[in-house]
Amino acid sequence: MKPEIITFTTISLDGGISRPGEKTRLSSSRDFERQHLLRSMVDAVMVGANTVLIDDPLLTVRLPGYSGRQPWRIVIDSRLRTSPEARVYDTSKAPTILVTSNENKGKVSGYEARGVRVVFVNKQGEWLDLDEAVRKLMDEYGIRKILVEGGGVLIGTLLMQGLIDELIVTISPVLLGKNKTPYIRVELDKPIKLLLEKAEIDRVTGEITLHYRPVYTA
Ligand SMILES: NC(=O)c1ccc[n+]([C@@H]2O[C@H](COP(=O)([O-])OP(=O)(O)OC[C@H]3O[C@@H](n4cnc5c(N)ncnc54)[C@H](OP(=O)(O)O)[C@@H]3O)[C@@H](O)[C@H]2O)c1
């Protein structure tokens, strides 16, 4: 058994998720509300190290009047490039788990001092074994539903390992142009067929939200 994994990403019409190295806002306030509503419905929100380095996100649910539980925040950082001072590691706001390589045992006291839990996993080639990571997150922390918010490396490596159950993509009416960070930032070793489950058009903002289920073949 593994947790259910959903991704939520806002992309430009030309397939980008941000301008290089910049905090880029692609979402309208209605898209932001969709994202925060989804956060309120999962056990954990997950991001990759670059997203923490560039955006310094809080990853909490911030909806007007919301006083419910805050989901776990999970950061995938195999080389400990994120600063323990990042906002996501302020555990007074919500609990946080750092997922890193077994090779970093003994090097995580700066994060633990802020109350961050750490899950150590093996590498699978160049990347962390995310299948091992999500199973540990379920067994050790009871995390059964994860919302992955990006970026493009994390979504790509989860797809390569056949772990994503649903891809939610909102197309924002903008073209980001050259040097953008792509939605999928790794070379997939084979094509993955997607079944369209739902499509919604927001005529006020011009955003289109698509829900896909990946079909993995052996
Ligand atoms: N538009 C949107 O909805 C949206 C959402 C989120 C982020 N973003 C943007 O996306 C950009 C960041 O995306 P990105 O593709 O550069 O990076 P990312 O996926 O956020 O982070 C990539 C880094 O995380 C670590 N990582 C992720 N998966 C891993 C795995 N399976 N194994 C080992 N390490 C793994 C690696 O760093 P180490 O090797 O150092 O561990 C990797 O270089 C930012 O500009 C952010 O603003 C946009």
Ligand 1: distance of its center to the CA of 147 in Å? Answer: 14
Ligand 1: distance of its center to the CA of 133 in Å? Answer: 16
Each residue of 1-43: pLDDT tens digit?
999 999 999 999 999 999 988 889 999 999 999 999 999 999 9
Spatial separation of the C-alpha atoms in residues 118 and 154, rounded to whole Å: 18
What average pLDDT does the structure give for the chain? 97
Spatial separation of the C-alpha atoms in residues 114 and 109, rounded to whole Å: 9
CA atoms within 13 A on the CB side of 152: 18
Per the CB < 8 A criterion, the answer to whether 7 and 168 are in contact is: yes
Q: Return the residue whose CA atom lies nearest to atom 28 of ligand 1.
A: 154
Each residue of 80-119: pLDDT tens digit?
999 999 999 999 999 999 999 999 999 999 999 999 999 9
Predicted structure pTM score = 0.97
The domain limits of the chain are 43-156, 162-170+187-199+209-218
Ligand 1: distance of its center to the CA of 153 in Å? Answer: 5
pLDDT over 90, % of the chain: 96
Spatial separation of the C-alpha atoms in residues 146 and 164, rounded to whole Å: 10
Per the CB < 8 A criterion, the answer to whether 42 and 35 are in contact is: no
Asked: is 43-156 a CATH 3.40.430.10 domain? The reply is yes
Pocket perturbation via mutation, ligand 1, pick of 24, 32, 78, 128 by most ligand atoms within 8 A of CB: 78
Ligand 1: distance of its center to the CA of 152 in Å? Answer: 6
**Phi-psi sector, 142: left (phi>0), alpha (psi -120 to 50), beta:** left
Ligand 1: distance of its center to the CA of 101 in Å? Answer: 16
Q: Which residues line ligand 1 (CB under 6 A)?
A: 9-10, 17-18, 23-24, 26, 47-51, 54-55, 76-79, 81, 127-128, 130, 149-154, 157, 181, 185
